[in-house]
């Protein structure tokens, strides 16, 4: 396969108005132009700017990589990785998953760099669209599930606005994998009739603005993503809103990876329990986390307030 050209995203012109009345919107990338409203059915046509000839359009697949273990990947995700022309991936994708990318595919990393800054989301959106407009089969590989705190929705919207076909292959989200790892279901008859997935981090950084009274209801599980640094604040808010200090909390770090760590504690002891962790971490707060405690470590928790269980199969 020929080497792919570098795509300077600054050359992309989005949603410009076209003078031709048959054309509703155009997106340009290098010498390629995607024209919506130009086809017989008013659909998308990709034109070669040099010859003006229509070309086959590419597409974007938002693919869930799961929490790390390649065995948690769906068969569909594995097939898409093998067939992709280019894979755009970020930080929380496991190495074993990357090994499934076909040998001729180009790999583009857009996660956190040495500077600790990720590629801005707008730039990722433009890159995905630009690659697809080259007629490429683009896989956007994201940790866990693309639609669970993954900004997959923004990427899908960008594709739709450009008229680029975009599909989603679900992945195992880390809260589901954490629940399995700890042996504590997210819902359980008599213990939790509902579960809420929340972010522990506000978009602007710091504590999230959540409905603490609703989250403090008993018999309800709260699964927290991105909540490691704000865990003490989250525990304090829930306790202030009426959730018992003795409410069990399961903490799973690096779910499904070789360095996975599991810990079961209580809401009152949570700040101390997470102090030595560096993440990524899922918190499972609620009565169902107590199933793991009751069966395996309840007595020790009562004595020490927290028990760490590492490397358990």
Ligand X SMILES: C[S@@+](CC[C@H](N)C(=O)[O-])C[C@H]1O[C@@H](n2cnc3c(N)ncnc32)[C@H](O)[C@@H]1O
Contact set with ligand X (CB under 6 A): 67-68, 92, 142-145, 148-150, 173-174, 225-226, 252-257, 279-282
Angle at 82 between CA 79 and CA 86, to 5 degrees: 120
Distances (CA, A) of 249 to 105, 135, 180, 182, 313: 42, 48, 14, 11, 20
DSSP track, 171-229: ---HHHHHHHHHT--SSBTTTBSEEEEEESS-TTSSS----HHHHT-SSEEEEEES-TT
Name, in order, each residue with C-beta under 8 angstroms of 124's C-beta and a sequence gap of 6 or more.
Answer: 88, 110, 140, 155
**What are 245's two structure tokens?**
């200090």
| Backbone conformation region of residue 191, classed left if phi is above 0, alpha if psi is from -120 to 50, else beta | alpha
**What are 267's two structure tokens?**
């809401």
Q: What is the DSSP letter of 293?
A: I
Where does the chain show beta strands of DSSP type E?
Answer: 13-16, 25-29, 32-36, 44-48, 54-55, 59-64, 86-89, 106-109, 137-142, 166-169, 194-199, 220-225, 248-253, 261-266, 281-285, 306-310
Active site residues: 90, 112
Q: 47 vs 139, which CB is nearer to ligand X?
A: 139
**What are 221's two structure tokens?**
């599980």
Query: Do 255 and 183 contact (CB within 8 A), yes or no?
Result: no
Write down the least CB distance from residue 5 to ligand X, Å: 31
DSSP H helix total and E strand total for the chain: 10, 16
Cα(258)–Cα(260) distance, integer angstroms:
6
């Amino acid at each position: 396969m020929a080497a792919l050209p570098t795509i300077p995203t600054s050359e992309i012109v989005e949603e410009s108005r076209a003078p031709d009345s048959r054309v509703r919107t155009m997106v340009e990338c290098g010498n390629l132009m995607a024209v919506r409203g130009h086809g017989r059915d008013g659909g998308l046509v990709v034109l070669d700017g040099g010859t003006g000839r229509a070309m086959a359009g590419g597409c974007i697949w938002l693919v869930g990589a799961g929490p790390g273990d390649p065995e948690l990947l769906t068969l569909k995700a594995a097939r898409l990785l093998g067939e992709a022309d280019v894979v755009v991936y970020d930080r929380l994708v496991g190495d074993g998953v990357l090994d499934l990318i076909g040998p001729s595919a180009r790999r583009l990393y857009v996660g956190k760099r040495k500077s600790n800054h990720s590629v801005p989301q707008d730039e990722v959106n433009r890159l995905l669209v630009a690659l697809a407009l080259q007629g490429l089969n683009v896989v956007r590989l994201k940790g866990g599930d693309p639609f669970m705190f993954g900004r997959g929705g923004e990427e899908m919207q960008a594709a739709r606005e450009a008229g680029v076909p975009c599909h989603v292959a679900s992945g195992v989200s880390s809260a589901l994998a954490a629940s399995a790892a700890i042996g504590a279901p997210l819902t359980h008859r008599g213990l939790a009739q509902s579960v809420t997935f929340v972010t522990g981090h506000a978009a602007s950084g710091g504590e999230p603005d959540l409905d603490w009274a609703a989250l403090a209801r008993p018999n309800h599980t709260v699964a927290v993503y991105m909540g490691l640094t704000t865990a003490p604040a989250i525990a304090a808010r829930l306790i202030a809103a009426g959730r018992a200090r003795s409410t069990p909390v399961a903490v799973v770090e690096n779910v499904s990876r070789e360095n996975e760590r599991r810990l079961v504690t209580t809401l009152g002891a949570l700040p101390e329990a997470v102090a030595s962790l560096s993440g990524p971490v899922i918190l499972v707060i609620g009565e169902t986390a107590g199933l793991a405690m009751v069966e395996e470590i309840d007595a020790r928790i009562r004595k020490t307030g927290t028990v760490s269980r590492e490397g358990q199969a």
